[in-house]
Amino acid sequence: MTNLGGWKQPLLFLLLFAATAIISSAQTLTTLFQFDYTDGAFPQPTSLVQGTDGNFYGTTYVGGSYHLGTIFKVTATGTLTTLMSFTGPNGVHPIGGLIQATDGNFYGTTSGFGFSTPNHKPVFSAGNVFKMTPGGAPTTLYTFCYQTSCINGSEPHGGLVQASDKNFYGTTTEGGANNVGTVFEITAGGALTTLYSFCALASCADGAHPYAGLIQATDGNFYGATYEGGARNSGTIFKITAGGALTTLYSFCAQAGCADGSHPYAQLVQATNGNFYGTTYGGGTNNVGTVFEITAGGTLTTLYSFGGVDGRNPYAGLVQATDENFYGTTQNGGINNRGTVFEITAGGALTTLYDFCSQTDCSDGAYPRGGLVQGSDGNFYGTTQNGGMDVNCSLCGDNGEGTIFSLSVGLGKSLNTPPIATK
């Protein structure tokens, strides 16, 4: 394990000072649950969602009865219930996470192809949209790629958002008219409409391969990001109306050396000031990712460039907490190079709250790809892709199939935590 904690070189302190990061040890992280593959493994870049019952719901990419992923419920104290295991016909490998809709049910997507156990037969799927009751009964609402050339889209990686019209909106990373992804609308009954196929403009100037889901802003429009495409093939931020009219707001790598960031993976968040905040996986001053702010008109400000010891490669987006600051995770970096949890102000002052793999054998978790959710108790809840204590898994990397954690930073109980996606 690489550990930079013992470095005492003056250069490191100069770099830390220049990056305006603060290392904080006053936070309390609690490992609530460690996956063991039978109950799921490798929770992917999905944030947990707090249900109306106060529990948290999420997905794992693999594991479960058929090796194809699970949906779970976990209490704030760490008692986990596996609600369902994906079987192939009802979905394969969920990535995008869940939302709880106004009808009380949970909605989500699965990404596609996998191998089923115990016979290890391949399961071919281009992903689906599903509904699940709080008790774990699933219904497949729509299966992608049943049309010629997958013109209806394939492989959704982002989750869904329920809009003010009660319908759901999302993205696919592949498929569509140009096979680089789509934006779609789907009703609770499963009627899907493809609103937009990316790469409709020359050289994919409008974007390509949206891994992130959408958010509906206060102006009624939807906002999202593409990982590639744009003027320099480094990703975009876009706005799209419910009718499918898309506007590219920003193309990354507009500055020398991609100082403004490149390749955003994650969903945006609209802050109380009306602007949008997000992360890029690459680019920035040190080419290991950024935090940015962007207005509805497309003016982008790079708030922070990660440097390594303060975190690197943020895969997930941000959450704005009750103290008005933003909180997030980096997949890599930190003093143990296994990822971090950070806080950042709207002005760009970043504080590293926790460095993963700080406990023996990374029992506290490693490589968080998912974001955070602030629970009604004021604490933050999240997952790590690896870490934990199941050392018998030969596929697990850092000795484990992932964890669920809570992090207390001293915030009071939240009065505004929205367990329902959109009212």
Distance CA 411, CA 322 (A): 8
Spatial distance between the Cα atoms of 387 and 364, rounded to a whole number of angstroms: 6
Share of the chain above pLDDT 70, in %: 86
Mean pLDDT of 319-341: 97
Please provide the CATH number assigned to the domain covering 10-39+155-408. 2.120.10
Checking if the pLDDT of 337 tops 70, the result is yes
Question: Over 80: is that where the pLDDT of 375 sits?
Answer: yes
Kindly tell me if the per-residue pLDDT of 192 is higher than 90: yes
Tell me how far apart the alpha carbons of residues 367 and 11 are, in angstroms, rounded to a whole number: 26
Residue pLDDT, tens place only, 237-251: 999 999 999 999 999
User: What integer pLDDT is reported at residue 190 of this predicted model?
Assistant: 97
pLDDT at 336 over 50: yes
**pLDDT tens, 96-124?**
999 999 999 999 999 986 555 555 556 56
pLDDT of 335 strictly over 80: yes
Residue 423 clears pLDDT 70, i.e. is over it = no
Structural domain boundaries in the chain: 10-39+155-408, 40-143
Phi, psi of 107 (to 5 degrees): -130, 145
Tokens at 222, concatenated: 């939807």
DSSP 127-151: -EEEEE-TTS-EEEEEESS-SGGGT
Q: Average of pLDDT values for 348-365? A: 94
Give the CA-trace dihedral at 86, 91, 97, 101, to 10 degrees. -100
Average pLDDT for 162-180: 97
Once rounded to an integer, what is the mean pLDDT over residues 366-393? 89
Q: What is the pLDDT of residue 45?
A: 80
The pLDDT of residue 341:
98
User: Does the pLDDT of residue 392 top 70, yes or no?
Assistant: no
Please give the mean pLDDT across all residues of the chain.
89
Q: What is the pLDDT of residue 263?
A: 98
> Of the given ranges (18-27, 128-137, 222-231), which has the lowest mean pLDDT?
18-27
Please report which confidence band the pLDDT of residue 268 belongs to, taking 50, 70 and 90 as the band edges.
very high
- The stretch 165-180 carries a mean pLDDT of 97
What average pLDDT does range 309-337 have in this prediction?
A: 97
| pLDDT at residue 27, rounded to an integer | 81
Do the Cβ atoms of 108 and 139 come closer than 8 Å? no
> Mean per-residue pLDDT for 357-363?
90
Residue 421 has pLDDT above 50, yes or no: no
| SS3 call for 352 | strand
Name the least confident of 53-57, 87-91, 117-121. 117-121
Structure tokens belonging to residue 371: 């974001």
Residue of 393 and 97 predicted with greater confidence: 97
Tell me the two tokens of residue 131: 């509904």
pLDDT score of 378 more than 50:
yes
The pLDDT tens digits of the residues spanning 3-53 come to: 333 333 333 333 333 334 444 445 899 999 999 999 999 998 878 999 999
